[in-house]
């Protein structure tokens, strides 16, 4: 084969390869464009953004609830401590009152017993005198 024919064959092969590569790119882009309407990535970006916002709101709300719960627990603890102190003080007062009442009851019982023994001794001695 002559040099001219070899050059012509190589030129045609290179041109065919270039045309084939260009055709392949065009087909690839057309297929990609036809599937773009089914591509969920654009829709998912919005969902990701919304989910991130929701997570931030939930996180903030959880923090607020935690702080509120801690404050409530502190208030309850303080109230329980005050109530226990009041109960202790009330119990001491009641014990003191009960001791005073018991002492008074004992004194009244003693006085009544003395009165009864004194009145019995008079009635017995007066019965002896009569009899």
Distance, in Å, from the CA atom of 115 to the CA atom of 3, rounded to the nearest integer, reads 159
Distance, in Å, from the CA atom of 74 to the CA atom of 80, rounded to the nearest integer, reads 10
Residues with Cβ within 8 Å of 11's Cβ and at least 6 positions away in sequence, in order, are: none
**Its pTM surpasses 0.85:** no
Write out the chain's pLDDT in tens, 131 residues: 677 788 888 888 999 999 999 999 888 888 776 666 666 777 677 777 888 889 999 999 999 999 999 999 999 899 999 899 888 888 888 888 888 899 999 998 988 888 888 776 655 555 555 54
């Amino acid at each position: 084969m002559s040099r001219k024919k070899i050059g012509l064959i190589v030129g045609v092969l290179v041109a065919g390869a270039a045309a084939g590569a260009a055709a392949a790119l065009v087909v690839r882009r057309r297929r990609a464009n036809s599937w773009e309407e089914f591509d969920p990535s654009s829709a998912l970006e919005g969902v990701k953004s919304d989910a991130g916002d929701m997570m931030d709101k939930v996180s903030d709300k959880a923090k607020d609830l935690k702080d509120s719960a801690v404050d409530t627990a502190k208030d309850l603890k303080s109230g329980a401590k005050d109530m226990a102190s009041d109960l202790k003080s009330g119990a001491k007062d009641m014990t003191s009152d009960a001791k005073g009442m018991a002492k008074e009851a004992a004194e009244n019982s003693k006085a009544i017993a003395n009165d009864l023994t004194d009145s019995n001794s008079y009635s017995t001695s007066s019965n002896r005198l009569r009899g």
